[in-house]
Amino acid sequence: MVSFCEKIENHIYLLDGLDLNKTSMENEISKESIITVAKAFVKSKGYSINLNNLNINEKELSYFVEKNYVDIKEEYTEVLKPGMPPKIIQNVKCTFVGLKSKLYEDFHEVFDNAGFDWSEKLLLECSFPLKSVFFDPRLIQLIRYDPKYLVNWIGYRMGVYPSDDDGGSIKLYIKNLCMGYDTEKDEPVLSIFIDEILSLDPIERGLLRPYYIAVDSNCKIANQNITNLIDGELIPSDDLDIYQVILEGIKIFNYIIDKKYNFEFFNVDYDDRGISFFSPLFYPTKGNWATFIISTAVIFIDKINVKQLNKYIWENRDHIKNTETAKEFLKRNKEIFNKKTDFDNIRSRSLLELFICNNPNCKFINESLKDIWNERSNFSHTYYEDEYNIIYHEEQDIILIKLYLILKSMIDFEDPKKIILYENKNYNFFKSHYGMNGEISNNCGFNRPGCFHKYATEHKDFIFLK
């Protein structure tokens, strides 16, 4: 039996009597046939469709091929016997077709009047299921602070899931809401692959429509998402996002302190949902900025292990109180070391100040965390009106760099020769990001990478320890 592809190749009767200089309508290729093929392609979310399932005659299909509207190939599908160990019964030949964008170019008016929605027409226009569709980051306002949705931020993308089973609610389920950039404005945008958009119900796709960026020539998806989601490879250590690098830095520092002093410095619960707010602002409003600041203050100040740190400093007070930093501290708290009951009332930030008293970067660390503390206090004790301001993107990037430098300095000071760290499984991660050659690339999840040089770890007040 001659296959369909062989008929096309050998021009067997399929093109007989077909005038290829005429339009498809003149050749009696029906509008219904065009719409049928397009709908099947949309239903497959842009992937190849099996022609065996389409009610279209071979003459019409041959015309689609001749006009370069489709790619055609034949494959053998293995049919397995149900209920038995894997064993091929037979190979069944199936013909698959992938639609090309030329069909949309020639018949877009047909599709415009055939009930296809904006996302379906976008697929027909691009004919590529993994096209990145870009959205204004305001979309995050619709999702992130709605209790009906759970948001799980991982690296350069987030998952969005309904938080309840209320049948009357709109179920917006997005597996990969990806980070991207407008390279001209040097600002973040959001991206979703078009096949995932087509997995949503029409109403849910309608929710996304107002945020769709139609002119996207300056937009690109973060390269790390291509590596992970398209190429199917792990993101290289050097390309991990700055948020993950900082959280891993806390684990490294905890490991060193635990080995030296038998307690962990930070009591961070990495499964806490609040950790998800230690992530990009996406949309730079004062409200989003406040959420990030509060999350950061919780991690770096509130989660300090006050009980164990208090005990360590009290037991080593004779040595600590003679340092220059402690002397300055005692000017403000003159009798703090006289009674244990008084010392027990010291807050976490003051304990940190005493703990790092010998670190050459103690001033930089204290002032950086003090700024975060004060900013958090402003939001906690005053009313504020929400506002949009691009400066919040830049301020977040600056704080991230400071947090990275704080951890780098504390790690280097507590384990200068890396004798302790060398035995830890995170040593290679340390070398990549916190070691002598470790630096954070400007493309590692910052809001405005164009504001930096190649590396984003420079600060005029920071001393790199040798």
pLDDT per residue over 374-421, tens digit each? 999 988 777 778 899 999 999 999 999 999 999 999 999 999 888 888
Say what the pLDDT of residue 451 is.
77
- Asked if residue 94 has pLDDT above 60, the reply is no
Please report which confidence band the pLDDT of residue 23 belongs to, taking 50, 70 and 90 as the band edges. very low
- Asked if residue 351 has pLDDT above 60, the reply is yes
Helix axes 101-112, 31-43, angle to 10 degrees: 110
Say what the pLDDT of residue 156 is.
93
Q: Is 147 helix (H, G, I), strand (E, B) or coil?
A: coil
Share of the chain above pLDDT 90, in %: 41
Is the CB of residue 395 less than 8 Å from the CB of residue 382? no
CA 123/CA 131 separation, integer angstroms: 8
Please report which confidence band the pLDDT of residue 85 belongs to, taking 50, 70 and 90 as the band edges. low
Instruction: Put residue 237 in one of left, alpha, beta given phi > 0 → left and psi -120 to 50 → alpha.
Output: alpha
Please report which confidence band the pLDDT of residue 346 belongs to, taking 50, 70 and 90 as the band edges. confident
Mean pLDDT calculated for residue range 31-50: 87
Burial class (CB in 10 A: 0-12, 13-18, 19+), 273: exposed
Sheet architecture: strand order including 70-80:
49-50, 88-99, 70-80
CA 59/CA 73 separation, integer angstroms: 17
* Single-letter residue type at 115: G
- Asked if residue 18 has pLDDT above 50, the reply is no
Specify the DSSP class assigned to residue 252: H
CA 372/CA 380 separation, integer angstroms: 12
Say what the pLDDT of residue 66 is.
83
- Asked if residue 90 has pLDDT above 60, the reply is no
> For residue range 45-60, what is the model confidence (pLDDT) as tens digits?
988 887 767 777 777 7
- Asked if residue 12 has pLDDT above 70, the reply is no
Please report which confidence band the pLDDT of residue 29 belongs to, taking 50, 70 and 90 as the band edges. confident
Which of 108-112, 146-150, 210-214, 381-385: highest mean pLDDT?
210-214
CA 408/CA 435 separation, integer angstroms: 8
50-54, 222-226, 357-361, range with the lowest pLDDT: 50-54
> For residue range 118-139, what is the model confidence (pLDDT) as tens digits?
999 999 999 899 999 999 999 9
Say what the pLDDT of residue 435 is.
65
